[in-house]
Structure 1
Amino acid sequence: MDWLAQWWDGVELWLVQLPVALQFPVVMIVILPLCLGVARLIDRVADWGAKDKGAVVEEIDEPEKVPA
């Protein structure tokens, strides 16, 4: 795992030394897809957890419409 830490330190040092005008697009290209993927994963897990597999969905009767 030492190689991973050294690689990460090199990437971090490279990124910090870039001008801010280049840091922003580089970070957005990496962070946006990563955050989108995590958000989708959380959404799917929440949807899966919210489903009650034993529950029966009851239909609600709509009130009768009165002509105007």
Structure 2
Amino acid sequence: MFAGLANWWDKAELWLTQLWFPLQFVLVIAVLGPLCLGVAWLIDRIVDRVAAWLRPSRDEDCPPRP
């Protein structure tokens, strides 16, 4: 199974490296652009949730009124 995957990857890599450079650039951006945006969105959501979990609640922020 891994030999088949390795052969496929070698063929895809060889095909990509033989393309004209501007076309390589467009293909890489078309794949990595959405992938990077998705990872950035996921990291943002995780940081927001961790920050909300570590932040004191609103009741703890305000001192009690007399």
- Report the TM-score range of the alignment, normalised by the length of the smaller protein: 0.7 to 0.9
Q: Provide the residue aligned with 2:6 in structure 1.
A: 5
TM-score (norm 2): 0.73
Unpaired stretches in structure 1, ≥5 consecutive residues = 60-68
Letter of the structure 2 residue corresponding to residue 35 of structure 1: C
Q: Provide the residue aligned with 1:47 in structure 2.
A: 48
Once the 2 structures are TM-superposed, how far is the Cα of residue 2 of structure 1 from its aligned partner? 2.5
Unpaired stretches in structure 2, ≥5 consecutive residues = none
Q: Name the CA distance, whole Å, in 2 between partners of 1:46 and 1:2.
A: 39
Structure having the higher helix fraction is: 2
Q: Provide the residue aligned with 1:14 in structure 2.
A: 15
TM-score (norm 1): 0.72
SS of residue matched to 1:52: helix
Q: What CA deviation, in whole Å up to 9, does each residue of 1:15-50 have, x standing for no partner?
A: 111010211111111110111111111111111111
Q: CA-atom RMSD, angstroms?
A: 1.9
Q: Name the CA distance, whole Å, in 1 between partners of 2:55 and 2:29.
A: 43
Greater CA drift, 26-35 or 2-11: 2-11
Aligned residues: 59
SS of residue matched to 1:32: helix
Q: Name the CA distance, whole Å, in 1 between partners of 2:29 and 2:55.
A: 43
